[in-house]
Every structure is written in C-alpha cells, then in structure tokens.
Amino acid sequence: MNKTVSIHIQGFAFIFEEQAYEVLRKYLNDLSVILQKEQGKDEILQDIELRIVELLQEKINAQQVVQLEQIQEITQLLGSPEVFSEEESIKSDQTKFESTEPIAPHKRFFRDSDKPVLGCSRWSSGLFQY
C-alpha cells in the first residue's frame, strides 16, 4: 500500500504517490536554487509549473494518482536542473563582473503545520508558500 499526497500546482489539484511527490518537490527545489540569481526566477518557475500541470493533465485524468514514472518522464522532458545551470552559465559569463549582489539564501520547502490548505495536506500548504 502506497501513501498518497494531495497537492496543488499553480491552483490545480493532484494526488501524488508520496515518492513521486518527493521527486517533484526536490526537482522544483533544485531549480529554485539554480535559478536564484536569475532575474525573473519566480516567473520562470511559474512557467515550468504550468508546463508540469499541462503534462500531468495529458498523462492522467482527475481521479488518477500521479506515479513516480510519470514524474520521471516529465523531469526528463524538462531537463535536469543542471541544464538550467548551463543556461545560466552562458549568461553569467557575460555579466559576471557586473553584479556584486549577495547570494540570497535559497528557499526551502517544509511541511506547514500552521496553515494547512483546505482539501490539501500540510505538505501542499508548504508548496503554496514555497
């Protein structure tokens, strides 16, 4: 028997197998870290989350649980976080002497026990705040 997690991505509800959820959570967290110096980071992450929603809706119907294999296919299609880093490195080569901005501490993703979101687990409440 597998544990499931209910989450919202960009306002769309999904039920994930716990392992699938962990993989996606780590993927988005890694992307957030890699893009931390990118202007428009939040917008890029939003675009990627919308693409994830689109791909999930192509793969499953509303009643189905998202499986690990489906998340692995999606992350493979999008590319590893290192790919985003390569992209960033092209830009940072051009601007490396232009910015002295300190690196912001990266956001982490925790279970939110204080603000559970209606119909979602506390993990998903954390995802909202992330």
Partner 1 sequence: MNVENTQSQMRKGILEYCILGILNNGEAYPSEILEKLRAAQMLVVEGTVYPLLTRLKNLELLAYRWEESTSGPPRKYYKITPKGAQFFADLSHTWQELQQAVRTLTQNKTL
Q: Does 79 bind partner 1 (CB under 8 A)?
A: yes
Tell me the window of 18-26, 84-92, 111-119, 121-129 that interacts with partner 1 (CB under 8 A).
Answer: 84-92
Q: Where are the alpha helices (DSSP H) in 1-80?
A: 18-34, 41-59, 68-78
Contact residues for 85 (Cβ-Cβ < 8 A; gap 6+): 34
The gap from C-alpha 58 to its chain's centroid, in whole angstroms, comes to 18
17 membership: H or E segment, kind and range: strand 12-17
Q: Does 128 bind partner 1 (CB under 8 A)?
A: no
Q: Does 84 bind partner 1 (CB under 8 A)?
A: yes
Token pair belonging to 104: 């912001």
Token pair belonging to 126: 């954390």
Chain residues 18-47 in contact with partner 1, contact rule CB under 8 A: 35, 38-40, 43-44, 47
Q: Does 48 bind partner 1 (CB under 8 A)?
A: yes
- State the residues that interact with partner 1 by CB under 8 A: 10-12, 35, 38-40, 43-44, 47-48, 50-51, 53-54, 57, 77-80, 83-84, 86-88, 90-91
